[in-house]
Amino acid sequence: DQQVKQNSPSLSVQEGRISILNCDYTNSMFDYFLWYKKYPAEGPTFLISISSIKDKNEDGRFTVFLNKSAKHLSLHIVPSQPGDSAVYFCAADTGNQFYFGTGTSLTVIP
Amino acid sequence: EAQVTQNPRYLITVTGKKLTVTCSQNMNHEYMSWYRQDPGLGLRQIYYSMNVEVTDKGDVPEGYKVSRKEKRNFPLILESPSPNQTSLYFCASARSQALTQYFGPGTRLLVL
């Protein structure tokens, strides 16, 4: 049973526009939520995280929003750049175990 | 350079032939973990280790073994591989379990 879900397998966005990637989860015991970015033939790399006690965290062009009542988080990338084209995984942490979503492939069109 | 290394990067084997995938990190991290990535299923945690001699099962531990005799190394052992273990495997490490993980480049395994 998937505890972290990314329902959009792919997303295409024009360069300069906003990319919004979504993630839903079922376990209310998750402490931390993270986004990882993955290029082909490489391991995932950490992008941004948010504690369960916060509702927003910002780092440059990347902002993560957490809505605990809806068990939903989203990653906003503004402005989107062609180099952002990659697969994005959201992940959640119970303190020792990690659960990843299935990934969303983002394509930023120049 | 801070990194997580995995060997081999690619491996083709046959059912039942024991194999080991090595993982090593040079960041003195306490937490290490193994994942498998399969189409439509994302990354699933196989085993994790909070420190030397401390290991625990993740979401999909069946058919795998691990050991953590030294802080830097966390090998993944498949005693009797089966075709359903054909997958892309990632090792990861973190300073502690609550912090972000650094991933290795992946090991693509095909079990015939």
Q: For A19-71, what is each residue's pLDDT tens digit?
A: 999 999 999 889 899 999 999 989 999 999 999 999 999 999 999 999 999 99
* Residue A14, H or E segment: strand A10-14
What pLDDT, on the 0 to 100 scale, is given for residue B40? 87
* Residue A16, H or E segment: none
Tens digits of per-residue pLDDT, B30-51? 999 999 999 889 899 999 999 9
- Average pLDDT score over residue span A100-106: 96
Residue of chain A minimizing CA distance to B43:
A100
Tens digits of per-residue pLDDT, B3-39? 999 999 999 999 999 999 999 999 999 999 999 999 8
What pLDDT, on the 0 to 100 scale, is given for residue A95? 78
What pLDDT, on the 0 to 100 scale, is given for residue A47? 95
Please state the φ and ψ torsions of residue B37, each to the nearest 5 degrees. Answer: -115, 125
In Å, how far is B75's CA from the nearest CA of chain A?
17
A23 burial type by CB count under 10 A (0-12 exposed, 13-18 middle, 19+ buried): buried
Assess B88–A contact: CB distance below 8 Å, yes or no: no
